[in-house]
Amino acid sequence: MKTIDLMPSGGYSPKPRGNPHPEAELVQRLRTAFTGSGYSEALLPVFVDEAEARRQRGPEAELALAGAYAIAGFQRQPGEADARALERIRAIAPTFNEARLAELKKILDSFSRDELSPGELLSQVVEKTGARMEQASEIVSVMFTRRPAEATGLLLRTGLAESWFETLAALLKKESPPLQLFSIGLGFRRGAPGWVAWGAVASESVSVQDGQSLVSSFLGGLGLTPSFQKVSATSKLFIPGTELVVSCRGAPVGRLGLLSPIALSEYGIGIPVLVFELLVGRLGVALGLAEGEEELHHPQFFGEWRLPDEEIAGLLRIGSSPSSWGRELSSKIVKTCTLYAQHPAPCEFKLLEKEVGDKKVEAWLTAEEGMLCGRDYANEIFVFDGNVVSSPAMGSTPLQKEAVSRGRRTGISFVKAFADYASFLIESDPAKPQRIELSSASDPSDANIVVPELVRRFIESKGKALDVSGDVSIAVESRVKRLWTHEQPR
């Protein structure tokens, strides 16, 4: 309950654009390829009745089911809302009485009839029994004792066939063949779950050779050339000798075959049906999207850490910045430095004069020796190949030259970052005379440039350069005078 005090005040601004997951992006490419090849999309059931799986597989069912997940469910039946329960509840909420217990029993009965979700149950307990929020979950836990899950007779689909039979049987009652269908979704094989692309063609004339041509044409559109190899021991789902393994670049990516007419007849399907499945993860590896399936599925856990230059550049930012009249001062600092950077010292240039309350604030750009600004004052921050470097416009070192010609500009310069910092300090406390100076920058933070810890970790892990340093030598002074007011004569 106390965490409400930690809630931020708000003001979050969403990013203008996000990045798709590589496997989800491949799924979208496959969907486009399927529809462009004449396939209509179907959503196949995720849950398969165990009896249906046995009906389709016949004597092979036990072996096939060894790779499946069975679905079990927990009972929604609470314990009795009796005197013993009331005694336990009063240990949590001392003012709980029999009238409130009766209300609780009504709420639990509605939950048992699936009329309330678990979240709604807690809300009802708070609203109708008067229990506090933190008490409600404890009261509910008293009423529900842990019980083992019970089998439902349902399985999670494992692959291509078990979900197609009922879909094809239903569609053939409404549409004339041929049917050319596809579906993309998760297959839940034990040990190897992942996205699968399934295709089905129901036609009087379709053959295995047609299937090879269809899959070759489909994968060719993605830039892959498949090869086919007959399976030595055909699954009972297929006509013997028609099950083929589909491979790309030496690795299996799926299979195809003609469904057994014995299995089809169980569903009243009297025409040949060609089915094929393509494992999306393996296709992604064959297309070079990742080194392995784990990296493609979960790049956050596996594979090389990549942080594009564009993303790094977007993460770099200026630290403290003015919000009102300080913006004008910041702009004048940048402009004056650009015009008079090489003016010999000692020198000073008036930047701004402003009345703030009963004070007059003046801001001056000053230098006591050398030049008004150091030689690197105008250096800009670039990102190139994971390196973050400051560089003059022409670049002097090989890395700087590469960064300027081929890198990503950030729009952040030493002079702009310092100008914002100095203006921020003067604007924040205008009544206080200040001198803000930056002689040299050895770290980005010295110049009011923020490099997030994420970027620093990435640069260090990749052995890249974080070279944001140089001779900046800029100084700004604020001078404060009191405004005199004259009394009017009486």
Note whether residue 96 is domain-resident.
Answer: yes
182 and 290 belong to one structural domain: yes
Note whether residue 317 is domain-resident.
Answer: yes
SS3 330: helix
Under the banding of pLDDT at 50, 70 and 90, the label for residue 488 is very low
Residue 339 near residue 437, CB atoms below 8 Å: no
Query: pLDDT tens-digit profile of 54-85?
Result: 777 777 777 767 778 888 887 666 777 778 87
331 and 430 belong to one structural domain: yes
30 and 106 belong to one structural domain: no
Give every CB contact of residue 255 below 8 A, 6+ residues apart in sequence.
160, 231, 243, 244, 245, 246, 276, 277
224 and 350 belong to one structural domain: no
Q: Is the per-residue pLDDT at 463 higher than 50?
A: yes
Strands 226-230 and 244-248, how do they pair?
antiparallel
228 and 371 belong to one structural domain: no
Note whether residue 187 is domain-resident.
Answer: yes
Task: Give the pLDDT mean for 198-221.
Answer: 94
393 vs 474, more confident: 474
Give every CB contact of residue 346 below 8 A, 6+ residues apart in sequence.
366, 367, 368, 369
Domain boundary among 297, 319, 352: 297
Phi, psi of 52 (to 5 degrees): -70, -40
230 and 320 belong to one structural domain: no
Domain of residue 255: give its range. 22-69+155-297
265 and 360 belong to one structural domain: no
Domain boundary among 148, 180, 211: 148
338 and 269 belong to one structural domain: no
Q: Is the per-residue pLDDT at 238 higher than 80?
A: yes
SS3 302: coil
Task: Give the pLDDT mean for 347-362.
Answer: 91
287 and 206 belong to one structural domain: yes
Amino acid at residue number 2? K
Least reliable range by pLDDT among 3-12, 47-56, 251-260, 315-324: 47-56
Buried b or exposed e, range 136-165, using 16+ CB within 10 angstroms: beebbebbbeeeeeeeeebbbbbbbbbbbb
Q: CA separation (Å) from 222 to 30, 276, 472, 483, 488?
A: 8, 17, 53, 76, 88
Number of domains in the chain: 3
216 and 244 belong to one structural domain: yes
Structure tokens at 4: 């409400």
Domain boundary among 99, 120, 148: 148
How far is the first Cα of the chain from the last one, in angstroms, to the nearest whole number?
64
Quickly count: other Cβ atoms within 10 Å of residue 35's Cβ: 12
191 and 65 belong to one structural domain: yes
DSSP string over 341-408: TTPBSSEEEEEEEEEETTEEEEEEEEESSSBSS-TTTT-EEEEETTEEEEE-SS-SSHHHHHHHHHSE
423 and 462 belong to one structural domain: yes
Nearest to 471 by CA among 363, 376, 349: 376
Nearest to 171 by CA among 273, 259, 255: 273
